[in-house]
Amino acid sequence: MLDDNTTNLAMLVCNRWAGRASHKTTMQKPVIATRFLSLTLAFALVIPFFACTASGQPRAPIPAAKVDATLASKPGKQTAVFAGGCFWGTQSVFERVKGVLKTTAGYAGGSAATATYDQVITETTGHAESVEVVYDPSQITYGQMLRIFFAVVHDPTQLNRQGPDVGTSYRSAIFYANDEQKQIAEAYIKQLDVAKVFSGPIVTQVTPLKGFYRAEDYHQDYALHNPDNPYIKVCDLPKIKALKEEFPQLFVDYKGK
């Protein structure tokens, strides 16, 4: 068991460098990249103890949504936006879901003027790291995607954080595009809470989508392009594995755009 001082130090290292500064290792600033590399070993040693474990692990397999849209009779395009911690992991899951046509990492919850990574990490913009999912409603329903969101993508019982990433920009949120999405999301959260699927109450926000803003290019498909990053290894690759194991009928092998 880590003592409080060690835990606090580890959280600082993981949050600032794995969850944030590692976003910056895009060769924009060699100094940041060098400092990040010097902390990689420490990060790799401490993060497994606490970082990406789901404290609210479901007590049983996540049930399907009782309230859901029906599969469309013909192909089409609909859009959903989810926030479940760092958008690297959220995107890495949804881009591997059958019926998903496109995913984009970005920001939702704030204004266009503050939709940049440098501003979002100040935790003053109202934005959450989010992923826009464009899907074919004839292949997958909104309720099915919600099931994946709660089962694989993140821990919906963690308030304003996910693992080592702390702040409102890492909050759990569903940004609904219409009344049907709102109804399905609220009904599903109630269904999971009543059934006590998780060990604690779900804190996921259900809020109207006022705007989605694409994140910087280096964030797109980050997990795919950086599989050896310690953060990706510990936090995101297990999510992809879980998707394949828990939803094999919906899993597709994504190789990039």
Q: How far apart are CA 187 and CA 130, in angstroms?
A: 21
Q: How far apart are CA 69 and CA 181, in angstroms?
A: 9
Burial class (CB in 10 A: 0-12, 13-18, 19+), 175: buried
**Residues, the chain, total?**
257
Q: What is the mean pLDDT of residues 80-106?
A: 98
**pLDDT per position as a tens digit, 189-212:** 999 999 999 999 999 999 999 999
Q: What is the mean pLDDT of residues 123-147?
A: 98
Query: What's the token pair of residue 245?
Result: 């194991």
In the chain, what are the domains?
4-50 (no CATH), 78-250 (3.30.1060.10)
86 catalytic, yes or no?
yes
Task: Label residue 52 by pLDDT band (50, 70, 90).
Answer: low
Task: Label residue 77 by pLDDT band (50, 70, 90).
Answer: very high
Helix (H, G, I), strand (E, B) or coil at 79: strand
Task: Label residue 157 by pLDDT band (50, 70, 90).
Answer: very high
Query: What's the token pair of residue 24?
Result: 């910056």
Q: What is the mean pLDDT of residues 222-237?
A: 96
Sorted by sequence, the CB contacts under 8 Å of residue 120 that are 6+ apart come out as 107, 110, 114, 127, 129, 169
CA distances from 253 to 93, 94, 228 (A): 11, 11, 18
pLDDT at 56: 66
Compare 157 and 12 and report the one with higher pLDDT.
157
pLDDT of 19 strictly over 80: no
Query: What's the token pair of residue 210?
Result: 């006022």
Mean pLDDT of the residues in the chain = 85
